[in-house]
Amino acid sequence: MRCLLITHLLHRTCDFTCVRHPAPLSSEMINYINKANTTWTAGHNFQNVDISYVRSLCGTMMKGRRLPEVRPGDSIKLPDSFDARQQWPNCPTIQQIRDQGSCGSCWAFGAVEAISDRICIQTEGHTSVEISAEDVLTCCEDCGMGCFGGYPAEAWNYWVNTGLVTGGLYGSKVGCRPYTIAPCEHHVNGTRPPCHSQETPRCVQQCIDGYELSYPKDKHFGRRSYSVSSDQQQIMTELYKYGPVEAAFTVYADFLQYKSGVYQHLTGEMLGGHAIKVLGWGTEGGTPYWLVANSWNTDWGDKGFFKIKRGSDECGIESEVVAGTPHN
């Protein structure tokens, strides 16, 4: 009787702990997600890469030093849906999808993308620049470990205390310090080189040849950096008044296969922390969502963008939101 009881308990324990997840990046996982018929659909994004490589892209160190929290002022009536691309059409960076390449620099990209947008928004489109991910990735010593991980809040602090120069996409020759890590073929079979984890480039405090300004003259500074409350109304108000914000969340293996709809975690192991730019909100099929720009190029997800469930702190998306205001 005792043996039967132990056997029964072992089976019961396994029911709760021995859950088998489909293999990451597999057709089995895609089928599992789509058959579940939840709020989103899956498809092939990453091909011919190992899961360890994808894990290295999730370079955000979660739960770092928290910036002082600033509330965006009195509550206002907010629309049911909002898209910063439509609200500020004269700010082209809001629509841009960048590519972090073979480097865990998402923490830097989420920051400089939102900073670029906010500079344009504050100047009503008169100053439209691409702030350099290369500059903060390679030169901010307090931000973390470069391509091997960093803290979003420290990137915003660096903008305030040290300033950031301009710099566009790899090979663009736009701005003072364009990105030097090439896009690689981590999504579909194509013409880009294969993906291998990348060392952090060295800090070069000099603009590329032919750029009209010196490195110090090209600096853009923030006035202050701060955390935004995890309350969704506060995040929405911040977005509505001042523009896109940076947020960090936990990536699970199923997220890699996102194609459309409103993502919520369904299956798969935890891979790490990831930082992105939040630029809007809405509701789809009755499910509230945040509209988000990723930094894995336009052939990932929904042309580089994705939606994630809003209002329930899905994967921690509302817990670590940071922002800042530019100098006039």
Question: What CATH number does the domain containing 133 carry?
Answer: 3.90.70.10
34 as an active site residue: the answer is: no
Asked, for residue 317, whether it belongs to a domain, the answer is: yes
| Any domain includes 56 | yes
Catalytic residue among 106, 140, 143, 207: 106
Domain of residue 59: give its range: 41-326
Instruction: Average the pLDDT over 47-74 and give the result.
Output: 88
Among 91, 274, 297, 315, the one annotated catalytic:
274
pLDDT 10s digits, 285-299 = 999 999 999 999 999
Q: What is the pLDDT of residue 17?
A: 46
Indicate whether 7 belongs to any domain.
no
Residue 194 has pLDDT above 80, yes or no: no
pLDDT number for residue 58? 95
What does the pLDDT read at residue 53? Answer: 87
Q: What is the pLDDT of residue 4?
A: 40
Q: In the prediction, which pLDDT does 11 show? A: 44
**Which token pair is 30?**
């895609």
Phi, psi torsion values for 155, nearest 5 degrees: -65, -40
Query: Of 15-19, 61-65, 287-291, which has the strongest mean pLDDT?
Result: 287-291
Number of domains making up the chain: 1
Q: Residue 190 pLDDT > 70, yes or no? A: no
pLDDT score, position 323: 99
Is 167 inside any structural domain? yes
Cβ contacts of 306 within 8 Å, gap of 6 or more = 258, 263, 292, 294
Q: In terms of pLDDT, which residue wins out, 211 or 192?
A: 211
Asked if the structure places residue 178 within a domain, the reply is yes
The answer to whether residue 160 sits within a structural domain is yes
Average pLDDT score over residue span 44-68:
90
221-271 pLDDT, tens digit per residue, is 999 999 999 999 999 999 999 999 999 999 999 999 999 999 999 999 999
* Range with the poorest average pLDDT among 24-33, 119-128, 191-200: 191-200
Say whether 120 is catalytic.
no
| Mean predicted lDDT score pLDDT of the chain | 92
Is 183:297 a contact under the CB 8 Å cutoff? yes
Q: What is the pLDDT of residue 251?
A: 98
Q: Which among 91, 120, 207, 294 is annotated as catalytic?
A: 294
| Residue 32 forms part of a structural domain | no
Spatial distance between the Cα atoms of 5 and 78, rounded to a whole number of angstroms? 58
Catalytic site residue 106? yes
Q: Is residue 12 part of a domain?
A: no
